Amino acid sequence: MTVEAHGLTKVYSGKKAVNDLSFTLEPGTVTGFLGPNGSGKSTTMRLMLGLDHGEGQTTWEGKALTAHPHVTKVVGAHLDARFFNPNRSARNHLRMMASEANISDQRVDEVISLVGLESVAKKRPKTFSLGMGQRLGLAGAILAQPKVLMLDEPANGLDPQSIQWLRDFLKFYASQGNVVFVSSHLLSEMQLMAEHLVVISRGSLIADENMAAFVGRSTRNDVLVRALDRDRLLAVLLAADVAAVAEGDDGVAVAGVDSAQVGRIAFVNQVQLIELSPRTASLEEAFLELTSGGQEYQTGGHS
Amino acid sequence: MAGILRYEWRRITTIRSTWILLGLAVIFSIGFSWLAMAGLKSATSTPDSGLAPNDLLITEIVGQVVVANFIVLVLFATVAAQAFGQEYRNGTIRVTLTAFPKRLPVVLGKVIVCLGLLTAVFAVCVAAPYLLLSSSDVVNSDISVSTMLGFFLRSWLYFCGYMLVVIALTLITRILALAVIIPLLMAVVFENLASALGSRWLPWIDNVLPFASGSRFVAGGEDLLRNGLVFGAWVLVLSVVGVVLFQKRDA
């Protein structure tokens, strides 16, 4: 199933929270949804699900969500770890959610086991931690084995083991031909999990591309080259019109060219190298660089 | 539609408070009837009370201790208000509307299941006192079947209307407590004040007040149709406003 969002727009009190957002979610892929706080990620998800009213439309395999007979088999959404009645047991919460597509209690018990909530399944979730709430929300989202999983910050409150489990699970779920659309502030996690990114800032689209292309756009991608005669290396690189700056005692950071070109220049000029390493920006670095100034709520400096 | 009915049935029956509130409604109905019966027994056995056995019709007593008893109505109203109020309070309305993106069937499903369950318990709340009182010799239970059925039907219609008002107010305010309190204040305080204060300048005011009209409709007598229509019109207007807002607003 392919999900297409066209021209999603949401205006709050004259201010555009989501501004003409269009993107496509492909099956078999974990798509990360990134943006600074207040950039409109949650609003976008709600617009896609029809929970919020705005302009634009989202089609699910070419049809509106309302045109599908069993919506829970199309999309499973987990938008908040606290969306449950604290006085209804976790199992009954899921049994209630299972009603739409008449899913069996056996499947309910299966997902409870999958997310590791067996021991508290019959307890009222009012004492659940944030992580347990996340697990319950995730259980609800995957209950009907939907073609699309839409998760808003599902890793918040999870311990490292659970985060690793979530990452593996979502990758596996996508590999089954499903769409996985997940927002997270844990960028290191996102880098390990997502193959495709939709990045927004102040409600507008910044990027809709694969992870490598997005990270590749960062100016922090460079090549570290170390030589016995660092000054000579720097001189030949500058002479070749390459952006290079000294780094450390014997290194040079080279931007704008790949390591093969740097190696060739050194070889031609007979400079002996002791290291030649391409350095790729992390997702976090690329994200911060490409969304700089796009924060809705800026923090102050160090006091 | 079957999906939302199943969903709502599980929602309403898997909350302990539903059963506690409905159980209390039954207990209070029977308890108030028993108190009324004891009070009438005492009154009719006192020569100077001016009240003789069988002076009062059984339907009048049941009407007072159950249908017009705001303690009982508030218990039912709380269950009705939970249909949307709890969902908004806990955020589960987004879970519900993700599974059921068409909002009108959600309202219909909730109303059908809620009123269905409440009607079943309301029937017990009316039938038990009726049987209890009819077994005593202090009230006049010698009434025709048509009178009795008419009373039950009008009581049920009023009850459903009251619950619909509560559900509509939950959709309008999104606050459970307000949806329970507003009709109560309206019926007990505002309408009495309006009736008392407004009768001099607005002599017709009493005829357009919702709960006063509803109560007269349950009691029967003159202007039955007009009272029923006035109450029904209020229910309809509030319901339409509630549904329109539910459709238009963000979840």
Instruction: Please give the domain boundaries of chain A with CATH numbers for all domains.
Output: 3-216 (3.40.50.300), 222-279 (no CATH)
Residue bearing tokens 């021991």 = A119
Q: Which residue has the higher pLDDT, A191 or B161?
A: B161
- pLDDT at position B41: 78
Q: How far apart are CA A136 and CA A129, in angstroms?
A: 11
Tell me the DSSP string of B91-160. Answer: THHHHHHHH---HHHHHHHHHHHHHHHHHHHHHHHHHHHHHHHHTSSSSB----HHHHHHHHHHHHHHHH
CA distance A129 to A275: 48
pLDDT at residue B147 in the model: 82
Q: Which residues of chain A have pLDDT under 70?
A: 293-303
Asked if B90 and B176 touch (Cβ cutoff 8 Å), the reply is no
**Chain A CB within 8 Å of residue B3 CB:** yes
Confidence of residue B76 (pLDDT cuts 50, 70, 90): very high
How many Å lie between the alpha carbon of A75 and the closest alpha carbon of chain B? 8
Q: What is the ipTM of this complex?
A: 0.83
Q: What is the pLDDT of residues B88-137, one digit of tens each?
A: 999 999 999 999 999 999 999 999 999 999 999 999 998 888 888 888 77
Instruction: Give the A:B interface size as CB pairs under 8 Å.
Output: 81
Rounded CA-CA distance A251/A247 in Å is 5
Domain range spanning residue B81?
A: 2-248
In chain B, the percentage of residues whose pLDDT exceeds 90 is 56
B164 burial (CB, 10 Å; 0-12 / 13-18 / 19+) is buried
- B chain contacts of residue A43, beta-carbon cutoff 8 Å: none
As a whole number of angstroms, the distance between CA A184 and CA A151 comes to 9
CB atoms within 10 A of CB A248: 10
Query: What does R_g of chain B's alpha carbons equal in angstroms?
Result: 20
A-proximal residues of B, 59-88, CB under 8 Å: 86
For A85, nearest residue in chain B (alpha carbons): B90
What is the predicted pLDDT for the residue at B241? Answer: 97
Instruction: Single out the residue of A225, A268, A217 nearest to residue A243, CA to CA.
Output: A225
Q: In what order do the strands lie in the sheet with A196-201?
A: A75-78, A148-152, A179-183, A29-34, A196-201, A204-210
The chain A residue lying nearest B11, using CA atoms, is A96
CA distance B150 to chain A (A): 38
Measuring CA to CA, which residue among B218, B20, B26 is closest to residue B125? B26
Cα–Cα dist B102/B112, whole Å: 16
Alpha-carbon Rg for chain A in angstroms: 24
Do residues A184 and A254 touch, judged by C-beta distance below 8 A?
no
Q: How many domains does chain B have?
A: 1
**Which phi and psi (to 5°) does residue B142 adopt?**
-90, 75
